[in-house]
Structure 1
């Protein structure tokens, strides 16, 4: 697994690193407190998965707003998912306040299924490491960005270009 840090301090990522060409691992996350979602719920669509530690932080806020803007331009065959361990009602409150209406927010708070499956669970914090995954309509991973520093922005343009090549 790649080296990861939070404000320059090393952190440990749990799970298996995913690479382009891999079959996308399945996961179970929460849409709300009672309803779950998995990879199969988005079958047949190109999936841009934006992973953030918490929506209530500056970079995560900016990342989610940027992908919300881009989602409107990508068409109906693309779904943009933002996954964090924020509780579902906190995600809903944040989206309402931020005017987020194109991105689907999902919570990995219960058992960190996504974090472990994609190698982004931070052992020390039990948060998810900032990362981006683009998965094609056949559930094959086409693009991956694991950030080395949690406080940095991802390469938005590269992720969007990876999606555009698939639609």
Structure 2
């Protein structure tokens, strides 16, 4: 199972650039702000899943759910992989339908929205990662994919380059 995420672990860095979450193997990168206070979260999640689904038709996805200890984890008895700052994720092969429904949220939940913390298709043509202490999502993929996020009217996306601080203006990286 760790072999499925080795390409991520081998490429990330400990800094405030996009490579803190996304390895430097993609054509383009962006950050996407999460809805403030959860307002519009469902619409946001649907928009993200729609854009990603259009880029990976018919492929299975890998869905990663971070074990924070604060929330119920999807499939708590499943094997875990380790990424980033020794964080443990349950990694499950599934698809966009499961990405939209497996995480149970609510006012009691620490997590923001239904989407997994980590999503990528089997061909690794894009990667979406939301680090648990950030209020934005990092994206790596083709220039076309990143462009669709930048142009989407519901998503607050900002293109970033390798080496640039990926922290969105007005936000703080912890």
TM-score (norm 2): 0.27
TM-score (norm 1): 0.28
